[in-house]
Amino acid sequence: MEKVLILGAGPAGLSAALYAARAELSPLVLTGTEMGGQASLTHTIENYPGFPEGIAGAELGELFRQQAERFGARFEYDLATAVDLSQRPFKVRTYSNEYLAETLIIATGASPNHLNVPKESELTGRGVSYCATCDGWFFKDKKVVVVGGGDSALEEGLFLTRYATDVTVIHRRDQLRAGAILQKRARENPKIHFIWDTVVSEILGNGVVNGVRLKNVKTGETRDLETDGVFIFIGHTPNTQLFQGQLDMTPQGYIVTDMQMRTSVEGVFAAGEVMDPHYRQVVTSAGMGAAAAIEATRFLEAHSSE
């Protein structure tokens, strides 16, 4: 029986672990497949308070983990495969175990969206990527395209200029959604070029990527562009499949919470990108994780006589 069981080890889950551990609740974190969550894949995080020179995403995640562990948080490198939220204690099944939990904090994050175009799946890992930090090195002295127009697309595009000779950003609109500083950096970088009002309709290549087929959304015109790599950053889908039919969700699949991170099931809390489609920042996810742990602590105190 766990007093606090946390699903996910990104900024929200690790922050929740720290606060629950400091409340002497000895929380157990099921890390899933990635310690540090998506943030761990970011080369440099420049906007997390306390690190004026920036910090590598993986390093920040490791510091989060160490801090939580220092106060008694425990970590299992395992993945939840089924949950039963119909009654307390809640049941969580993983690949190797089954857990009972008095409270549950869901911090399972979100996963990158796919283009869902021909050859995308076939060529993933063979020129198609969703993580520049992971795969950028393989494109040294090569040409790549980045699909998207938000912060992630420009952050990863700028990172790719370390390796690639040419980075072409393809965006379906005629203006970017990214923050002003990132836009300025990208526009001033001689390696970065833009193709506007355009989508990728097909990825080309036999065994490895050698090009993309582009379609102008205004004129309908199509053309092929040679490239060695395709990096896709077009948003995320929350990892909430386990909770379908058990928790209230938005039409987009995000878990609905109130201001105290409480879900529609008493004793179940959610934090970070699994319930936040708006901010999607390390600092906001960490704050939400802290709030969820504080509320879980209060919930346990209120129900201590049960």
CA end-to-end span of the chain, whole Å?
Answer: 14
Length of the chain: 306
Number of independent structural domains in the chain: 2
Residue 100 pairs in a beta bridge with: 91
Within the chain, how many helices (H) and strands (E) appear? 6, 17
Pair 21, 48 in one domain: yes
Residues 71 and 160 in one domain: no
Cβ-based neighbours of 286, under 8 Å, separated by 6 or more: 11, 12, 14, 15, 64
104 and 35 housed in the same domain:
yes
CATH number reported for the structural domain that contains residue 148 in this entry = 3.50.50.60
Domain hosting 255: range is 2-111+236-302
Is 141 designated active site? no
Q: Under a CB-based contact definition with an 8 Å cutoff, are residues 61 and 34 in contact?
A: no
Q: Do residue 244 and residue 282 come from a single domain?
A: yes
Confidence (pLDDT) at 98: 97
Of 211, 232, 253, which marks where a domain is finished? Answer: 232
Given 177, 207, 232, which residue is the final one in a domain? 232
Please indicate, yes or no, whether residues 289 and 248 belong to a single structural domain of this protein: yes
Q: Is 135 a catalytic residue?
A: yes
Based on the domain organization, do 73 and 118 belong to the same domain?
A: no
Same domain for 21 and 125:
no
Residues 156 and 95 in one domain: no
Catalytic residue status for 134: yes
18 lies in the same domain as 122: no
Percent of the chain, pLDDT > 70? Answer: 99
227/129 same-domain check: yes
Supply the pLDDT for residue 306. 63
Write the pLDDT tens digit of every residue in 69-120.
Answer: 999 999 999 999 999 999 999 999 999 999 999 999 999 999 889 999 999 9
Whether residue 209 sits in one domain with residue 174: yes
Is 191's pLDDT higher than 90? Answer: yes
Q: Do 44 and 126 reside in the same domain of the chain?
A: no
Catalytic residue among 134, 174, 224, 258: 134
Domain boundary among 212, 232, 252: 232
Q: pLDDT tens across 123-177, in order?
A: 998 999 988 877 888 999 999 999 999 998 999 999 999 999 999 999 999 999 9
Q: Which of 78, 84, 131, 258 is catalytic?
A: 131
The single residue listed with the structure tokens 């992971």 is 134
pTM higher than 0.85 for the full model?
Answer: no
Catalytic residue of the set 78, 135, 151, 228: 135
